[in-house]
Amino acid sequence: MSAKKPDLKKILGGAFPAYRRLRESKCDENLDRLLVLLSCRSAEVPTRKGGKDTLEFFRADSYALMLGGLSLKQARARIDRARRALKIIEAALAPLLDPPPENVPLRWRTAQYRDCWRQECMRMAALVDELSRALDGVGPKAHPDVSRKIEQVIRLVREQTGRFHDEDVAEVLSAAIGTPVPAGYPTLGDGVALKAWRRRNKVVSDSKIPKS
């Protein structure tokens, strides 16, 4: 499955001139990749009926197309539906799998069915839980790597241009992250805020450029 590459001009909006200045200052296409990872707004994907559908990507989520064409929100909704379906099926079959009276010939076979069904329920529930945990490991609810991505942008700009360009970098980062700023994400409204953030996080000192 393929998707239309996100348009940086649309993603960055009014911050696009700041992005152009960074590119003109010798930042390469790796800057594009990092900004796309911070924010993919939407992409077109083919549907089973041969048409196209537009999926809204979560900010900082680069995994949507790995989920069978579903966004994280849609995938989590499917997980919830699966849990509800398991409960409905279990409740529907419970009366049929209750042990019948001692003198009913089907008693032994029913016990077999009940044990088998319990094992299947446990297996399916474990699978759903495993999928849920996998989803929790990606996207905006799992942002330990958001700071790392911001740091990568800062390092790239500093190493490729010889300067921090705090104002322009803060502008493109803020546009890529989007508004409202998701919970847990830093607010980098201007160069002063970005400079304070990188100093607080000990990202690339003003006097020395660490090697990647």
Per-position pLDDT tens, the chain of length 212: 444 566 788 888 899 999 999 999 999 989 988 887 777 544 454 555 666 655 444 444 444 445 666 667 788 888 999 999 999 988 887 777 766 656 555 555 666 777 787 788 888 888 888 888 777 655 544 444 678 889 999 999 999 999 999 999 999 999 988 877 766 678 898 999 999 999 988 886 654 444 43
CA Rg, the chain, in Å?
25
Residues in CB range of 27: below 8 A, 6 or more apart? 156, 157, 160, 161
Q: Measured between alpha carbons, how far is 26 from 18 in angstroms, rounded to an integer?
A: 13
Q: What is the pTM of this model?
A: 0.53
Nearest to 23 by CA among 38, 13, 35: 35
